[in-house]
Chain A
Amino acid sequence: MTSHVDQPQSFLIRAFSVGRRPQVAFGLVIALFWLIVLTTVSIWAPYDPLEAVGTRLIAPSMTHLLGTDALGRDVFTRVLYGARESMPIAAAVIVCATVIGTLLGAVAGYAGGWVDAIVMRITDVVMAFPAILLAMAISAALGPGLRNGFIAILIVWWPIYARLVRGQVLSIKQREHVEAAISIGATRRRILQKHVMPMAITPVLVNATMDFGQVVLFLSSLSFLGLGALPPSPEWGSMITEGAKNFYQWWIAVGPGLAILTVVLGFNFLGDGLRDVLDPRSKGDK
C-alpha cells in the first residue's frame, strides 16, 4: 500500500515534476534553452549575424540550417542572436512594470481615497487605449530603436499590475490579521509590507512569468512595424518584416516566427506551473 499523505516537498520539485505536469517541464526546458542561447551564443554560433556569409536567399541546407536572407546573412545565426535583442528588454520591461505597478497599486489600494482615485484614473486612461496602438504612438513619437520600444511597452504594461495588486490589497486589508496587526500598534508601512504584500504578490509573480512571452511578442510586433529594432540588428520582429518582403523564401520568416512561438508558449506554461504551486486553491494535480 502506498500512503497518500503528501510529503512536504521543495517548492521547485513540486512545481516542475515532469510526471505531474509535462507542459511545465516543457516550459522550463524552453526557458532554459533560450537562457543558454542568450548567454553563450557568441561563443558557438557558426556565423556572424551581421555579415554576409553566402549567396543571397539560399534555401535551408546543412551549411545554412535556415538558409540565408536577402543580404546573404545566415538566418539561423540571426535567430539565435535575436534572443539577445528581445529577451533582456522583455525582462527589463517585466521587472520595471511589476515594480512600478506593484508599488502604485499597493499604495493606492491601501491608502484609498484620493491617492487611489488618482492612480486608478491614470491606469484607466492608459488601459482605455488599445495597447499596441498606444505603444506604436509612443515609440513613433520617441523615434524607433529598442530603448524607445522599451519605454513604450513599459508605459502600456504597468497599469495591469497596478490594477492586479490594488485588487489584492483591497481584499487582504479587510482580513482580521490586518486588524490584529493594527491593534498591536504596527505602522501602516509595516502592515503593508509584512501583512498585506506577501499575500498579494503571488498573482503578480504568475502574471509576470506569463507576460514575459507576451512582451517578447509585443516588442517583435513593434519591430515588425518598423518601430522597434533598427535594421541590421537581428531582432525577430524585424526579421519577419524582411521575410514578408521575400515572401517565397519562407525560411526567412519561419525561423524568427518559431522563436517567438516557443518563447510565448514556454513562459505561459511556466506561469501555469507557478500558479499551481503558489495557489493552493487551484491544485494542478488530479
Chain B
Amino acid sequence: MNSLLSIKDLHVSFGLGLETVDAVRGINLEIARGEIVGIVGESGSGKSASMLSVMRLLATTATTRGTVHFAGKELFSASSKEMRGIRGGKIGMIFQDPMTSLNPSFRIGSQIAEAIIRHQHVSTKIAVSKATDLLEVVSIPRPSESMSLFPHEMSGGMKQRVMIAMAIANDPELLIADEPTTALDVTIQAQILEVLKGLRETRNLSIVIITHDLGVVAGLADSVNVMYAGEIVESGDVEGVFYKATHPYSRGLLSCVPRLDIRESALHPIGGDPPKLSEKTPGCSFQPRCKNAIDLCETTSPTLRSSTVTGLKVSCHNPMEPSPQMSESI
C-alpha cells in the first residue's frame, strides 16, 4: 500500500442542540503521492468537514469516527503536539477566503517566515530568504519588495498566492485546498490553478481539491469523488466521471453547469432539497430527488461498488446509462 493519505470509514457528526448532524457518513478515500484528487458536491455535502477532520481542525462540537492514515501514521490517535508538527509541516492547507485568512496586522513576509521558522527551526534571515523564494514560486511579481506588504495592500489573487506560499513553505507532502478559487474571479482562478499544477510537477505534491466548481476539477484533478449528503456517491478518474457518470446525482451536477457549446439555453437544476443530515433514512439519501428511483432505493441504502460498464465506482441501485451524447460533446 503506497498511498499517502488513506481514509477509512470516516464519520463526522456535529452535536447541534439535541440533535446530531451526521455531516460525513462513512467515506473511504485513497490518495497516492503526486496525485490530485477532486472532491465535488454541493454545500453541506460534507466535503470540507471530511478534510478538516483529517487536519483535526473541526470545532470541538464535532465527533469523528474511522481512521485516517497519513504516510503510515494514524492521525486521529496522534497527540496534539504531533498534529501541530503535521499541520503546516507535512500537510498544508489553503482556505476559501484569502481576504480573511491572513493576519491583517503583520506583513506577509513575516507571516510566511513564521511558518518556516516554526517547522524548520532556522534563523530569521534564512527564513526570510526562503519566504522570498516561495513568493517567486507562486509567481508574485517583485518578491523581495512584496515581502513587506500588508495583506490589505494586496489583491485577492495575490493573497491567495501568499496563502499557497505559506501552505507549501515546509515542503508538505499533501496540500488540502478547500475551495481555493471560490472567492476569486475566473482569470485569477486560472492562474492559481496553474500555480497548483506547477507545484505537483516540481515537488510531486499530492493535492486534495475541494470545490463545487466542476470546471476547476476538470482542469486540475486526476480523479474525482462526488459527494452527496456525507457519502461518496461516485468516484473515478476525471475523464470517466465527466464523460461516463452514471449516478443520477453526478449527472445532475454536470447538467447544472452552463455550457456555451450546446445550443440549448435551459439549465437542469436538481429538483428538491438536500436531505436533513440529522435524520437517518433507511434508503438512498438521494432517492427523494432522484428521477431514476426504484422501489429498492426507498428501503435499502446502496453501497459504493465498481461498475463493470464504466470502470467507475458508483453507489446506486439503478444507475443511468452512460450518455453517448455527453462523451461526444465534451
Query: Which residues of A line the B interface, CB within 8 A?
Result: 175-177, 179-187, 190, 194-195, 198-199
Contacts and interface: CB of A to CB of B under 8 A. Distances in A.
B84 A186 contact: yes
Contacts of B196: none
Contact of B115 (A177, A184, A187, A198): A184
B87 A184 contact: yes
Contacts of B88: 183-186
A177 B118 contact: no
A187 B87 CA distance: 11
Nearest to B81: A187
A186 B116 CA distance: 11
B329 interface: no
B73 to A, nearest CB: 15
B93 A176 contact: no
Contacts, number: 64
10 contacts: A176-B97, A177-B103, A177-B104, A183-B87, A183-B167, A184-B87, A185-B86, A185-B115, A186-B84, A194-B106
A186 B102 CA distance: 14
Nearest to A195: B103
B85 A185 contact: yes
The 4 closest A-B pairs by CB, nearest first: A184-B88, A185-B88, A185-B87, A183-B93
A176 B95 contact: yes
Interface of B: 55, 57, 83-89, 92-93, 95, 97, 100-106, 114-115, 118-119, 163, 166-167, 169
Contact of B101 (A177, A190, A194, A199): A177
Contacts of A184: 87-88, 92-93, 114-115, 118, 166-167, 169
A186 B88 CA distance: 8
Given A175-B100, A176-B97, A194-B114, A183 B105 contact: no
B118 A186 contact: yes
A197 to B, nearest CB: 10
Contact of A183 (B57, B103, B106, B119): B57
Determine which residue in A176, A180, A187, A194 has the highest number of CB atoms from chain B within 10 A of its CB, and name it. A180
B57 A179 contact: yes
